Chain A
Amino acid sequence: MHSMVIDRRRFLVLAAAAGLPLKGAHAAEGPVFLSARSDAAGQHVFAAFDHQGAKVFEIDLPGRGHGIALSPDKSIAVMMARRPGSFAVAAHLPSGRELGWLTAPPDRHFHGHAAFSGDGRLLFTSENDFENDGRGVIGIWDSATWRRVGEIPSYGIEPHDIRMRPDGRTLVVANGGIRTHPGYGRAKLNIEDMDSSLVHLDSRTGALLGQWRLDESLRLLSMRHLALFGQDGVALACQHQGGEDEAVPLVGFQHGSGALALVDQPADWAGQTANYAGSICVDRSGRLAAASCPRGNRVGFWDTASKRFLGSVKIPDGCGVAAGAGAGEIVMSSGLGGAWTWSESGETAELPGRYLRSGRWDNHLLALL
């Protein structure tokens, strides 16, 4: 795998040197990846690239983007603004044609993530009702008009990541628990009474179906990012608001209506990662979870069944993680440029192409498989 990539790159270099046309070299079979990107000119974009590193499309954004929601039929992707943001853009796939822009109401701002309903007709966005003590709400938007049609509570403060379960109706929400107000930028206003929770709610009625909190000893652990797998699995990634030298687990799993359990990690993991996980994904087989820890320049891997820590790779400022095309394959992107594929067999290979190296890849990556 590794040598093949190098061979291909060498071919491209030789071809370019020989003045050969490269058109067609990037025939995009295989997955396309979506992510927010910032380029050298300071422009923030919603970007798509193929597995050979070629740009598929870009949409200019008025600020940094964050999470991406994919419609069930994979024909629409919505890029949300980074919190506290007020914009989002819906794009047709795979053309990248703009379908519409969402603007947060004046008394709400987006928290960076969204999810579609099972029939694709509604989009749910995590939002902050900042004039009411940061009450978390889930905004509801019509995907035909991109107008806001309602909202339901998130049953916590600071809903961050939000996912739709395979039933098309149950929303899984990570309430980060940290209150912010746009008047104070991204300042955390309530660490002393932080309240993070994982919530399942009925997207049609707004009813609370289940809520999980961590032990009191882990009160300063903020549950922020989610990945769903199998029929009823939830993987979550956390950030610790306490000291960097305290060793706290950063990854957890929860199944159906069962208990939430944080899992093992190496003793020095907390210290290596500054207790901060930025993103999480599960591979195509559902057996493998990857959590990125950009402050430690590492991505760690866990077995979703045994909950065992499998190992890690070093990715400088690596944060975006997504399932690759094959089982046991994970693709990772870096805020300093570049993207890599890791496979269970232990190989890491950089995706080719100048485009990947030339931009800063933001927090999240999503693969269209």
Chain B
Amino acid sequence: MKSFLTVLLMGSALFSSAAWAEPDYKALALSVAEGQVIPGYQRFTDAAAALGRQAEGFCAAPDAEKLEPLRQGYHGVMDAWQGVQHVSFGPVEAFSRGQRVQFWPDKKNASDRQMGQLLKSRNDSILEGGRFTFASVAVQGLPALEYLLFGEQAERLLDGEDSAFRCRLVSAIAHNLTGIGQELSEDWTKPGGFRDGIATAGEPSSPYASAAEAASQMFNALHTQVEALADVKLAYPMGDSPEQARTIRLESWRSARSARNLAVNIEALNAFYAGGGGQGFSRALVAEGRADLDERLRAALERALAKTRALEGPMETVMATPEGWTQLDAIRADLKEASTLLGAEIAPALNIRIGFNALDGD
């Protein structure tokens, strides 16, 4: 018996050494929130507010020279949103905020159809007061803005009988995005907000029963986004061959920035994975003695990013060429590898729960 106990105690001493300690999920989740999510939402809010000011200036006196800077303003907002697109949990889930910012994928082309109808009707009343917030998600976010700024009829912002209405719509969308950004930032950072909910995981006021649950939700957001980049942003528009490639299935085909979206996404996932001050998933994995997995994941993401940056032209043009298609397929394969690593090896190593229904809470 005594020797058994000794063995047990020795065992527990071993278990408490670095290789077997449970990750500090609270520190991990907070570092991800504070290092990536909260600053990301702030950048989005700032970019949308800047676009709003620009739109007002533009609309006061529409001018061809100001159209390009306005388009750059859109790129700024889109860059910022792509940096937090993977955050599928928390305040973004409430009031359809995520969909209102970017209704996508839009398989049935609701955005185009509804934008066409709206422009035809010039229904001013939906822009009044707070009503725009309740308009169709297909007309109040980034795809609608892209339609106005980069669509076939973008020049009609300058002159044309409906230029004033188009301008008001650009402004309304920019203000709407700013408002949503402010709500997101505030709901994360206010006292008792979502950040505090993570900090107090396990207490009754927290949405999380444990810090491990918060970390799991973040991990699942990471895993889901890696999968979505491979399946939705690449495989879906690519089809099975260059002949099957469909440009309009790309996320931002009108503004020809789908590759830029992908690069921003991968950079954001890297930052999310690393967490603020390097206290995120990467460090936890190394602390679990699995630096090998950490290296393999970072290498796969790094390869995907380098290949995305090396594309010779926008995805919208290269995808239908045999060479370009093959390059995109290689990026897809790297992302698939990262996704498999996350699901099959890294999640168990961090003792993190993955699954669709397991995390549901219903």
A→B interface (CB under 8 Å): 38, 40-43, 60, 62-63, 66, 82-84, 86, 112, 160, 182-192, 224, 239, 241, 244, 278, 292, 294-295, 297, 316-319, 334-336, 360-363
Contacts and interface: CB of A to CB of B under 8 A. Distances in A.
B201 to A, nearest CB: 11
B16 interface: no
Contacts of A295: 353, 355, 358
A358 B118 CA distance: 36
Contacts of A184: 91, 94, 187, 194, 207
Contacts of A362: 356-357, 360
B147 to A, nearest CB: 19
14 contacts: A40-B235, A40-B236, A41-B105, A62-B137, A112-B362, A182-B95, A185-B93, A186-B207, A188-B204, A188-B206, A294-B358, A319-B357, A335-B358, A362-B357
A63 B94 CA distance: 12
Contact of A185 (B91, B228, B232, B235): B91
A160 B362 CA distance: 9
B242 to A, nearest CB: 20
Contacts of A82: 362
A112 B360 CA distance: 12
Contacts of A182: 94-95
Contacts, number: 105
A160 B360 CA distance: 14
B94 A38 contact: no
Contacts of A191: 204-205
B330 interface: no
A363 B362 contact: yes
Contacts of A188: 204, 206-207
B2 interface: no
Contacts of A43: 105, 107
B11 interface: no
Interface of B: 89-91, 93-96, 99, 105, 107-108, 137, 187, 194, 197, 204-207, 209-210, 227-228, 231-232, 235-236, 353, 355-358, 360-362
Contact of B232 (A40, A66, A316, A318): A40
A317 B362 contact: no
B182 to A, nearest CB: 14
Given A184-B207, A363-B362, A294 B355 contact: yes
A182 B183 CA distance: 12
Contacts of B209: 241, 244
A336 B105 contact: no
A318 B358 CA distance: 8
Chain B at the A interface: mostly helix, strand, loop or mixed?
loop
Nearest to B136: A62
A82 B206 CA distance: 20
B95 A187 contact: no
A38 B359 CA distance: 15
A294 B354 CA distance: 10
Given A41-B231, A42-B105, 5 more contacts: A43-B105, A182-B95, A244-B210, A278-B360, A363-B362
Nearest to B362: A363
A189 B99 CA distance: 25
List the 9 shortest-distance A-B pairs measured between CB atoms, nearest first: A335-B356, A187-B207, A319-B357, A317-B355, A191-B204, A294-B357, A335-B357, A40-B231, A294-B358
B357 to A, nearest CB: 4
Contacts of B194: 184-185, 187
Nearest to B360: A363
A224 B362 contact: yes
A83 B362 contact: yes
A104 to B, nearest CB: 12
B104 to A, nearest CB: 8
Contacts of A239: 361
Which of B108, B235, B360 has the largest count of A CB atoms less than 10 A from its CB? B360
Given A40-B232, A82-B362, A192 B137 contact: no
A84 B108 contact: no
Given A60-B108, A62-B137, A187-B207, A278 B96 contact: no
A40 B105 CA distance: 11
A318 B357 contact: yes
Contact of B356 (A38, A41, A185, A189): A38
B314 to A, nearest CB: 21
A189 B203 CA distance: 11
B332 to A, nearest CB: 12
B362 to A, nearest CB: 6
A58 to B, nearest CB: 11
Contact of A317 (B197, B227, B231, B357): B357
Nearest to A181: B94
A295 B213 CA distance: 11
A241 B208 CA distance: 10
A190 B89 CA distance: 20
A191 B209 CA distance: 10
A84 B204 contact: no
Contact of B360 (A63, A183, A189, A319): A319
B361 A186 contact: yes
A60 B197 contact: no
A62 to B, nearest CB: 7
Nearest to A242: B209
Contacts of A294: 355, 357-358, 360
Which of B91, B227, B235 has the largest count of A CB atoms less than 10 A from its CB? B91
Contacts of B95: 182-183
B228 A62 contact: no
